[in-house]
Amino acid sequence: MVSSNQTSPVIAFVLLGLSAHPKLEKTFFMLILLMYLVILLGSGVLILVTILDSCLDTPMYFFLGNLSFLGICYTTSSVPLILNSFLTPRKTISFSACAVQMFLSFAMGATECVLLSMTAFDRYVTICNPLRYSEVMSKATYVPMAASSWVAGSTASMVQTSLAMRLPFCGDNIINHFTCEILAVLKLTCADISVNVISMGVANVIFLGVPVLLIPFSYVFIIATILRIPSAEGRKKAFSTCSAHLTVVIVFYGTILFMYGKPKSKDLLGADKQDLADKLISLFYGVVTPMLNPIIYSLRNKDVKAAVRSLYVLVCLTL
């Protein structure tokens, strides 16, 4: 560790992770490794079926393929680092590697927010304007929509990462986290971070606030339209087309709101427990949520299940 009163620049960071709870490290190593393999398998299969199955050549499944690929990228940017920290006593990460990891995690998170709002718009058009669906959600529309979400997320992340990494780090180099989470890194700088705080606030409004408003707004019209359908079977069928997306949205934003909205403990013993709870919640957000996404989309969608069965049969015949 670099001493707090030392003025030499930081060239590496120390990631605490679960260092204060060594008995938990091996258990969480196995759990996270298992979940990571499930993410790779589940998301990989979803990407394959959306590409290979012509029945899934629609905007909804195109967005689903993007979300699956994003889940792989997001977890790959952090999970190997977390697993390595559980196995090695030296839990350091270089300055440049920290910047790359920070860029990837922020970019994937921002991109997912935009993609979820675009998928909500797709569900809105499907339910509320079915006769104009093919016109509104043509390939010339939904492909640029998805591409723009990746560009927007990457651009925002580049801005935030560059603003953070240009700051001088000349004090403690211990990050009380599993990865180079941008807020944890900013706490270590020995300079004014008001510009970073403002830019982060703007980014949160754009990538969290706007989708949080757009998604419920879309579902108000969706639910109102579904309730006007005369037959119970018709209402059930209409709701099933957006139930998987709605479930993913609730899990994704619910975890974020719980992470940043829960009260903090003030006593010393409680603070230690609170610190452990915060880290475990961040693991849930970073690993469990991406693992649930392909499972939710597979279990709640008969077209995806049929495509997966067809892929399985094809693989068995090939072998």
pLDDT digits (tens, 9 = 90+) for 252-272: 887 777 665 555 554 444 555
**Do residues 282 and 258 make contact, with C-beta atoms less than 8 angstroms apart?**
no
C-alpha–C-alpha distance, residues 25 and 10, integer Å: 27
Q: Which superfamily does CATH assign the domain made up of 12-258+271-318 to? A: Rhodopsin 7-helix transmembrane proteins (1.20.1070.10)
In the chain, where are the structural domains located? 12-258+271-318
pLDDT tens digits for range 188-211:
888 888 898 899 889 888 888 888
DSSP assignment of 185-252, as one string?
Answer: HHTT-SS--HHHHHHHHHHHIIIIIHHHHHHHHHHHHHHHHHHT-SSHHHHHHHHHHHHHHHHHHHHH
| pLDDT recorded at residue 261 | 54
pTM of the model: 0.85
| pLDDT recorded at residue 264 | 53
* Stretches in the chain below the pLDDT threshold 70: 1-10, 19-21, 90, 171, 258-278, 299-300, 319
| pLDDT recorded at residue 180 | 84
The 10 Å Cβ neighbour count of residue 206 is 15
| pLDDT recorded at residue 263 | 54
| pLDDT recorded at residue 111 | 93
Assigned token pair, 299:
């279990």
